[in-house]
Structure 1
Amino acid sequence: MSPVIDQAVQAQLIASSPRPRPIPAHLRYAPADPFAVHIAFPPAASLDGAAVEWAFARDLLAGGLLSPSGGGDVRVWPCGPDRTVLEFHAPEGVAMIQIGTEELRDFLARSYALVPVGGETGFLDLDGGVEALLRQI
């Protein structure tokens, strides 16, 4: 079994209230899904009281530390020298959070130690994916 990076981070939910609301979150990276990072929020952070998890490209997170990145459901951009904004779009609405840029850099560095940039395809289980598709036919 390959190692998985699971890192707790303190996020700030940007809301219409005057001050951001702190919420816990967990970043996760697994070599079995080498192109993606996952971020999970507890039930207390959502409007419907359910836990929420988003998956998006590791490259998107890395790019968003330097300049605005993304154009779909997830967008990431730097907010000053110390914070990074992650914006999530869903049918129910938009959520924006801020996370410390150093926490994100540390998380990415740990992920690159497991799977270097450009080495992701070596971790894909292509045979298993084809078998799973064939079973669905």
Structure 2
Amino acid sequence: MITIIEQAVQARLVAAAPKVETVPVTFHYDRSDPFAVRMAFPAPATLEGVEVSWTFARELLEAGLERPCGHGDVRVRPYGSGRTVVEFHAPEGVAIVLMATSELLRFLERAATVVPPGLEHLYLDMDHSLAELMRDSC
């Protein structure tokens, strides 16, 4: 049974330094963290010159395809016909990433085959999560 989904998506960096216009970003979904998606940027597209990943709610990505969502570091909204914007807010500045909505829908459909939306709680390993939280407290 598949428990991890990865999908490359061609993205256009609208506001970025260093100047990179298009870049393949990788979306990652793992059943062991059922509420989250991870979006990884390759080294040439980052200020530090190393791969950078952002993790945020799968629900935020889903909802942002239809209406503006998010109030924190990650915000998602539709942009024109067939495109979606993901904004990343950090102390260094804001990165605006533009992608084809169809590619994001395909990723979300694939993730839904691993963990159906609304059933994420059934895939949480509470014992493991609690042990991780308590590991450094003793």
Give TM-score, length-normalised by structure 1.
Answer: 0.92
Residue number in structure 2 paired with 1:28:
28
Structure 1: gaps spanning 5 or more residues: none
Task: Show the 5 A alignment for 1:83-122.
Answer: 83-122=83-122
Matched residues in 1 for 2:86 and 2:106: separation? 16
Shift in Å, 1:81 = 1.8
RMSD of aligned residue pairs (Cα, Å):
1.7
Matched residues in 2 for 1:135 and 1:12: separation? 41
Shift in Å, 1:129 = 1.3
Shift in Å, 1:15 = 2.7
Question: Alignment length, in residue pairs?
Answer: 135
2:135 counterpart SS class: helix
Task: Show the 5 A alignment for 1:1-137.
Answer: 3-15=3-15, 21-137=21-137
Matched residues in 2 for 1:45 and 1:120: separation? 32
Shift in Å, 1:90 = 0.7
1:122 counterpart SS class: helix
> Percent identical across equivalent pairs?
50
Structure 2: gaps spanning 5 or more residues: none
